[in-house]
Structure 1
Amino acid sequence: MRLHRVSLRGLAVAVAGVLAASTGAAEEEGGWHFGPGAKLSRPASGLEFALGGYAQEDFRSFHDYEDARGQLPALGATRELHRLRMGFDAQWKKVSFEFDYDPHDSTEHLKNLTAEVKISKGLHLKGGNFKVPVSYEWMTSAAKIDFIDRSLVADRLAPGRDWGGVASGEPVNNFHYEIGVFAGDDRVSQQRAGTTVAGRLEVTPMKGLDVGVSGSQGKVNGDALGGPVDPVTHGVSFHAPSGFRFYERHFVNGTRRRLGADARYHHKALGLKVEALQMTEERLGQGSLSDDLPTEVLRGFSGSATWLVTGERKARTIRPDHPIGQHGIGAVEVGARFDWLHADDNAADTGFAGAGNRARNIRPVGGKTITGGLSWWPVYFIRLMGDAVWERYNDPVLAPVPGRKSGYVTLLGRLQLSVP
């Protein structure tokens, strides 16, 4: 079932109803506990069941994208219901389940469907459809990221969700690992690779500092020239926060490899994050004469800083210390982020550099963005966000207005409602 128009009013009423039903002391009957929020548990049996979900309504305004004739390039929607997630988490002793669904997403209704067994602190086994563990920003829920859009590096270079299994755990204090095998690296994308191995290691060398490395490798089975059907480009493309596409998919075939690193530092209300990710894709037999082409090399970097003005401690989930209705204004956070993306090949820069999807010498393409953001949680299940994004493109020919590299501004707003 596809839902193209869903009113946030209905979700708001449902959220308010759940909250009203769960406020005050938890009810208890026959060993069952209700609350907090939409949670049902029976501690004596080790059973827990919690409903979850959120909706995000987005607004965008584009400035200085018009060319001399007043025409706009292809950009994103000015208003859209971006996400409508619903699902549940369940746990019975050492076994847990997760189900997340988005009826509004026409390309990927199913988000997460997993079962996990906690054998020990150092070994958890999980299987199902879920995120391939590369990039901390990508692994963070879209309801809890610091800005309206993910960083460019996570949005364009990180993998997606796919069927697979992972082993994870914390065998020693301050060291966490996750390694697994997946059927691909993005179940619903045309750029999907075949069987993919992925892993992530994370250490905490000091209080408040987390450092991680991650990577993946799979094989892309490209289409041959002269086959019974038209070949499909399986490479990645770049889109700016405005929605403008500044790098086209290329024909790729062979090994796809990702390697990334990230670090996060939290101290009281302050949060700092940096992340870098490189992705390489072979182009075996993808030339106009079925010859091998140089490997495509894609790199990205992101750095951000946030500060909770109202004094809450920075964490993945923000809860106002003094929400509206309890002698406060809620939680307010400001932040800034720098993003950078670049695409090229690994051969010497000789001969004609082309932007075509079979170019031997890929024309270097890149872009930078600077984002300023504001978030307000009047209560913990409502979040209002506003971002201003400045975009700059390295190649004036491939910019929104040919001949002008920079000066493009996108204003974004978001209303987010979550199930408490």
Structure 2
Amino acid sequence: MKYGKRLAGFAAATAVATVALSTPASALDMAEVQRQINALQAQMNEMKAAEKKSSGSDLKVKWKGAPQLSSKDGKFKMKVRGRVMADYVNLNDDSGMDRDATEFRRARLGVEGIVFKNIKYKFEVDFADNDVDITDAYLQWKAKPVSLTIGQQKVPVSLEEQTSSRYITFMERAALTDGFSFSRMIGIAASTGGDNWTVKAGIFQGDADDGSDEQGRTYAIRATFGPELGNSDAKVHVGASYFYRENDDDDGTLRYRQRPPVHIADRYVDTRDMGTDIAGDNDQYFGVELAGVLGPLSVQGEYGWLEADNDLGSNPTFTGGYVDVSYFITGESRNYKAKKGSFGRVKVKNPINEGGIGAVQVGVRYDTIDLSDNGIDCGEQESWIFGANWHLNNYTRIMANYSFTDVDGGSYDGESIDAFAVRFQVDW
């Protein structure tokens, strides 16, 4: 480019000289010479501006746990995402079905981003359990006031379910989320909201790993509200959700079951135990949510009712719920996002990689699920979970949980289960 500048300067000098030589000195129009000099200077300024623009890259790079690429105008973004959760579990029960094992609870890799400013995409695959499963795979058109999401996504139900596994307080979600089969499904959902409220509703049918020809539909809606309290350290969450789900099981039965609060365990409550079948075409769920954050202190709870259609007898209503309290000893706070109606990433004040001690959180939870009603006795499970989390930085944490569980009714009536579990987690 230096050569270009010299060439431009030479051209300017030549032009001036040409004007001077072609006109007698006594009659030289200095105004005309000055005009041509100004014109050439303007051309040189344009060349410099073009050089400056071309020398800069149209690509911006940020670090958010992993490189995030974006165009200068912000219309295009792309980020590689993933998480690895490696667990160790030691479990003892009265029946002698002990466990002492490790597993990758989650091992996900994917990509997400934005194209043309208002279209979001996300694709993620889980490699845990020696299998390859698609978790999220969707496009989202972010319009105002309504956003439209098409593809495999979470069905809008439950605060615990909508909060990412990267940010939940305990190693496993509450029993009702798995016991009542909250999951991701392929569908279309519309969402709207403001600074402190959300509404999302959708129609779903099957999932990415379901190859059956007959798939029942699920209709779901969830609404949340996070009233402003005038105190930046105080936050409240109120929510409710409902779904109606058609049965797509080949044998025409509905099944509900659940483990203790560790993943490496048998299911001690199961509606297919005790020779019980619930033959029905559908079920429906209604749940309520409540949470509060006051600085380092957090309280969270949910309760839900699931009514199952049963052609063989009265319709049973199963219930589940939990309440927990957690506290950051190091002064951090759970990151409640009222615009999303869920919790997000904890911001560590003094990360290990910057010479700090990280963030330390402790918590306790009471958790229950009851699969007995209207002559169906498949067991009630009650658990106490004590947890401690050490966040080394914003993207890495070590979790430790101790739990004891009692089963009342069903095939494992009177069973007690004790479990100790540790997780090493990193995400990006």
CA distance in 2, matches of 1:263, 1:193: 33
Partner of 2:338: none
Partner of 1:109: 133
Q: Please give the per-residue CA displacement for 1:229-256, whole angstroms capped at 9, x wherever unaligned.
A: xx47431212222523222233432221
CA distance in 1, matches of 2:259, 2:301: 21
Q: Give the 3-state SS of the residue equivalent to 2:128 in structure 1.
A: coil
Displacement of 1:313 in angstroms is: 2.2
| Bigger helix share | 2
Is 1:413 aligned to 2:422, yes or no?
yes
Displacement of 1:33 in angstroms is: 1.1
Q: Mapping of 1:297-336 within 5 angstroms?
A: 297-315=317-335, 316-336=344-364
Displacement of 1:89 in angstroms is: 1.1
Is 1:273 aligned to 2:300, yes or no?
yes
CA distance in 1, matches of 2:108, 2:297: 29
**Corresponding residue to 2:70 among 25, 30, 41:** 41
Q: Mapping of 1:191-230 within 5 angstroms?
A: 194-207=216-229, 208-221=235-248
CA distance in 1, matches of 2:423, 2:353: 22
**Corresponding residue to 1:56 among 59, 70, 85:** 85
Q: Are the aligned partners of 2:321 and 2:367 in contact in 1 as well (CA < 8 Å)?
A: yes
Is 1:164 aligned to 2:192, yes or no?
no
Q: Mapping of 1:291-370 within 5 angstroms?
A: 292-315=312-335, 316-345=344-373, 347=374, 361-363=375-377, 365-370=379-384
**Corresponding residue to 2:279 among 234, 238, 252:** 252
**Structure 1 unaligned residues grouped into runs of 5+:** 1-27, 224-230, 285-291, 348-360
Displacement of 1:88 in angstroms is: 1.2
Displacement of 1:104 in angstroms is: 2.8
Report how many residues are paired.
350
Q: Give the 3-state SS of the residue equivalent to 1:138 in structure 2.
A: helix
CA distance in 1, matches of 2:131, 2:316: 27
Q: Give the 3-state SS of the residue equivalent to 1:385 in structure 2.
A: strand
RMSD, aligned α-carbons: 2.4
Partner of 1:25: none
Question: Percentage identity across aligned positions?
Answer: 22
Q: Give the 3-state SS of the residue equivalent to 1:294 in structure 2.
A: coil
Displacement of 1:393 in angstroms is: 1.3
CA distance in 1, matches of 2:349, 2:210: 40
**Corresponding residue to 1:124 among 147, 151, 168:** 147
Distance 1:60 1:222, change over 3 A: closer
Displacement of 1:188 in angstroms is: 4.7
CA distance in 1, matches of 2:211, 2:91: 28
Q: Give the 3-state SS of the residue equivalent to 2:226 in structure 1.
A: strand
Q: Are the aligned partners of 2:87 and 2:421 in contact in 1 as well (CA < 8 Å)?
A: yes
Q: Give the 3-state SS of the residue equivalent to 2:352 in structure 1.
A: coil
CA distance in 1, matches of 2:362, 2:215: 38
TM normalised by structure 2 equals: 0.76
Q: Are the aligned partners of 1:193 and 1:218 in contact in 2 as well (CA < 8 Å)?
A: no
**Corresponding residue to 1:387 among 394, 398, 401:** 401
Is 1:138 aligned to 2:147, yes or no?
no
TM normalised by structure 1 equals: 0.78
Displacement of 1:386 in angstroms is: 0.3
Give the letter for the 1:416 counterpart. Q
**Structure 2 unaligned residues grouped into runs of 5+:** 1-54, 230-234, 336-343
CA distance in 2, matches of 1:211, 1:131: 19
CA distance in 1, matches of 2:376, 2:242: 24
Flag as ranges the 4+ runs of structure 1 deviating above 3 A: 105-108, 184-190, 231-234
CA distance in 2, matches of 1:189, 1:335: 41
Q: Mapping of 1:181-196 within 5 angstroms?
A: 181-184=203-206, 188=210, 194-196=216-218
Q: Are the aligned partners of 1:186 and 1:193 in contact in 2 as well (CA < 8 Å)?
A: no
Q: Give the 3-state SS of the residue equivalent to 1:300 in structure 2.
A: strand
CA distance in 1, matches of 2:59, 2:242: 43
Q: Please give the per-residue CA displacement for 1:75-104, whole angstroms capped at 9, x wherever unaligned.
A: 666211111011111112111101111123
Partner of 1:7: none
CA distance in 2, matches of 1:182, 1:77: 38
Partner of 1:23: none
Partner of 1:20: none
Q: Please give the per-residue CA displacement for 1:147-172, whole angstroms capped at 9, x wherever unaligned.
A: 111111122124211110111011x5
Partner of 1:237: 257
Give the letter for the 1:253 counterpart. G
Q: Are the aligned partners of 1:182 and 1:195 in contact in 2 as well (CA < 8 Å)?
A: yes
Displacement of 1:181 in angstroms is: 0.4
Displacement of 1:108 in angstroms is: 5.9
Distance 1:60 1:29, change over 3 A: farther
Q: Are the aligned partners of 1:212 and 1:263 in contact in 2 as well (CA < 8 Å)?
A: yes
Distance 1:222 1:118, change over 3 A: closer
- Tell me which structure has the larger Cα radius of gyration: 2
Partner of 1:90: 113
Q: Please give the per-residue CA displacement for 1:168-191, whole angstroms capped at 9, x wherever unaligned.
A: 011x5532100010014896599x
Partner of 1:174: 196
**Corresponding residue to 1:150 among 163, 169, 173:** 173
CA distance in 1, matches of 2:404, 2:208: 29
CA distance in 2, matches of 1:115, 1:161: 14
